[in-house]
Chain A
Amino acid sequence: MNSILKNPLVQRTMFWLATTLVLVFFMFPLYWLVISSFKVRGDVTLTPPTLFPFVQFQPTLDNYIDILTTTRGGTTVASPFIGALVNSILISGTATLVAVLLGTLAAYAFSRFRIPSEGNLMFFILSTRMLPPIVVIIPIFLMFSNLGLRNSFVGLTLLYVTAGLPFVVWMMKGFFDEIPREYEDAAMMDGYSRIEAVWKIVIPEAIPAMLSTAVFVLITAWNEFIFALRLNPDKFSTVPPYLVTVIGYGRPEWARMAATSVIFLLPIVIFTVLVRNHLLRGVTFGAVRR
């Protein structure tokens, strides 16, 4: 028994077997979603379910065409979903960019300078994340109404920046604490100002951390539902509230929902894949002693 387990071939086989099992377990819902988006409506709810395209069912693009277009007065035009998607990309993207840039600068200051009652300030920043966002929805709604920020691009973006900032400040401060301050000191001794030192030496070092922080901020903003629903119901509506409208009345439109979800998923997946190399380095920073 013991000797069988020590055989390298057996060990390797068991390793891959276990890996595959775990992978199937975690990836199955996603797979389900993707194949459902290519099924005709009736196929989705079949029991037993059909799992293999071309073999068990004939994939179709109808759902995608359906949700991306709409017919108005006999001509085919882009559906409101496309508008919502563009809004989502613009609002979440801008919010992420602004939050990461502002937060990085704040984090640098917290890490490098003696700031009076620094501990309290850092806690205060974190404390904004301690209550469920829903409890402030009424004051925010009223504030935004008075300031004319409802149904605007700026309003929701501003809100997502505010929500993302504490996370960025905490993550990036931890990262900057890990970068020896001697890097900037050395650059300043070498004849550069502090701003130049930060720009030329520190920021290049910080990019992996900034990118991985950005992924988290982006996902949070991208998924946000309740504020989007309440503050931007019409013109600047984002995808999450729109998703609800796809469900349909009476009989749920599972296939169309699946197609919408897949498209909703894509931008995040693309961004994450693009920065994946940095992501690993960024997420594990601080875990290893250098």
Chain B
Amino acid sequence: MSSISVRKVTKQFGSNVALNEVSLDIDDREFVVLLGPTGAGKTTLLRCVAGLERLDNGDIFIEQQNVKSQAPAERDLAFVFQNYALYPRKTVYQNIAFPLEARAATKPEIEAEVKKVAEVLHIGHLLDRRPAQLSGGEQQRVALGRAMVRRPHAFLMDEPLTNLDFKLRTQMRSELKRIQRELNETFFYVTNDQVEAMSMADRIAVLNRGVIQQVGLPQDVYEHPVNLFVASFIGSPRMNLIQCSLDTNSMDLVDSSGAWRVPVPAQYREKLSAAVNTDSLLLGVRAEDVLISAENSGISGDVYVVEPLGDRIIYDIRVGTSMVKVKTPPTYRVQTGSQLNIVFNMDRVHIFDARTQQALI
């Protein structure tokens, strides 16, 4: 239970800049998810906070105390690794007891603590086994138990659900969230899975190429991405991005092939008229904000691929030179190759400057 503050942290590996002046504040008892693709620098940042990597520049504070020069053991944080890093030669009991032995706790104390943790995580029946004899989900719980047992300042987690199968992952998502609430502790959690980030986080921090892109509430990040990267990284299916330009006279957005145009909603006109690169814009529309319209309205296109997902169907519609994904309820069914018309829910579209990649509205 502590706040963590990362101030202008820079970390280089050779000539490769893994983290570039990263700043991030995590409040006491907050669940912050650091989200980004492979190679974004997420794990490096987590390891810097843990003290497993040395900073090239910047500071890290835990409870307002600068820990830059402290060894990992002194920082009193718990780390859950992607591969769990359970000690293969120790039993589950010994694994969980190991951190307590470091602080010279007495045997009865250790036993009481291990039993308590095992109970919370429902692994009491596994204490005599070795890690190799456990399923992925059980290993994950043991790793969590080893982290919990010494009541650290905060929990650092590096993609702990990645190695689980899809069903278990869905389950563990809400389970982890429940554990965080029950422990009432600070969680700093790294993942490349946007669904995990959205569903678990109090706040999301999106990292790409060592730079923080956006920090905010999950729904805010989803609805108001600040740049192209965040827009296309969060959400499934990926946000549709259509090349277009702005006709400054009529204030219409014109498709790059010139096949169709849509008017810019009144509330955005002022902002857009200030834009510089009006000839290279990207119109961003999420699949759920594309609607199938009546026959002689909207933009016409043909069905390229049908992807039935059960609770919804995704249609890939070819309009002009662009491909637009549309999400519909499973009751709406048309064949590949059919013609249909679509409209965009213009209150929920995004417009990006293709050059600067920044969101204009």
Contacts and interface: CB of A to CB of B under 8 A. Distances in A.
Contact of A201 (B51, B83, B87, B103): B87
A190 B150 CA distance: 8
Interface in B27-72: 47, 50-52, 71-72
A77 interface: no
Interface in B98-153: 98-99, 102-103, 146, 150
A188 B102 CA distance: 10
Interface in B78-110: 78-79, 81-83, 85, 87-89, 98-99, 102-103
B72 A188 contact: yes
Interface stretch (A32-40, A41-49, A178-186): A178-186
Interface in A158-210: 180, 182-183, 185-193, 196, 201, 204-205
B73 interface: yes
A180 B89 contact: no
A277 B72 CA distance: 37
A193 B102 CA distance: 9
B114 to A, nearest CB: 13
Contacts of B241: none
Nearest to B74: A191
Given A185-B52, A185-B79, A186-B79, A191 B85 contact: no
Contact of A182 (B51, B71, B73, B83): B83
Nearest to A188: B72
Contacts of B50: 185, 189
A188 B79 CA distance: 10
Contacts of A205: 88-89
A6 B269 CA distance: 82
Contact of A189 (B78, B83, B87, B89): B78
A190 B146 contact: yes
Interface residues of A, number: 16
A189 B77 contact: yes
Contact of A188 (B73, B88, B150): B73
What's the interface size class on B, roughly? 20 to 34
A183 B73 contact: no
B98 A190 contact: yes
A189 B79 contact: yes
A186 B73 contact: no
A185 B87 CA distance: 11
A183 B131 CA distance: 13
Contacts of A186: 79, 81, 85, 87, 146
A191 B81 contact: no
A178 to B, nearest CB: 12
A180 B85 contact: yes
A182 B99 contact: no
Nearest to B78: A189
Nearest to B50: A189
A199 to B, nearest CB: 13
A44 to B, nearest CB: 51
Nearest to B156: A189
Contacts, number: 55
Given A190-B98, A190-B102, A185 B81 contact: yes
Contacts of B78: 189
Contacts of B85: 180, 182-183, 185-186
Nearest to A179: B88
A193 B79 CA distance: 15
Contacts of A191: 73, 99, 102-103, 150
A188 B51 CA distance: 9
Output the residue of B79, B82, B103 with the most chain A CB within 10 A: B79
A182 B83 CA distance: 8
Contact of B89 (A187, A192, A196, A204): A204
A256 B87 CA distance: 53
A180 B87 contact: no
A204 B130 CA distance: 15
A182 B81 CA distance: 7
A24 to B, nearest CB: 39
Output the residue of B71, B72, B87, B146 with the most chain A CB within 10 A: B72
A183 B87 CA distance: 7
A242 B46 CA distance: 62
Contacts of B82: 182
A186 B98 CA distance: 10
Interface string A257-268: 000000000000
Interface string A239-263: 0000000000000000000000000
A110 B1 CA distance: 37
Contacts of B79: 185-186, 189
B187 to A, nearest CB: 15
A192 B72 CA distance: 9
Contacts of A193: 71, 73
A111 to B, nearest CB: 16
A55 B277 CA distance: 103
B262 to A, nearest CB: 51
B99 A190 contact: yes
A205 B50 CA distance: 24
B71 A187 contact: no
A283 B131 CA distance: 23
21 contacts: A182-B85, A183-B85, A183-B87, A185-B47, A185-B72, A185-B79, A186-B79, A186-B87, A188-B52, A188-B72, A189-B52, A189-B72, A189-B77, A189-B78, A189-B79, A190-B150, A191-B99, A191-B102, A191-B103, A196-B102, A205-B88
Given A185-B50, A187-B87, 8 more contacts: A180-B85, A182-B82, A185-B52, A189-B78, A190-B73, A190-B102, A191-B73, A191-B103
Give 8 nearest A-B pairs by CB, closest first. A191-B102, A182-B85, A190-B99, A186-B85, A189-B79, A188-B72, A182-B81, A191-B73
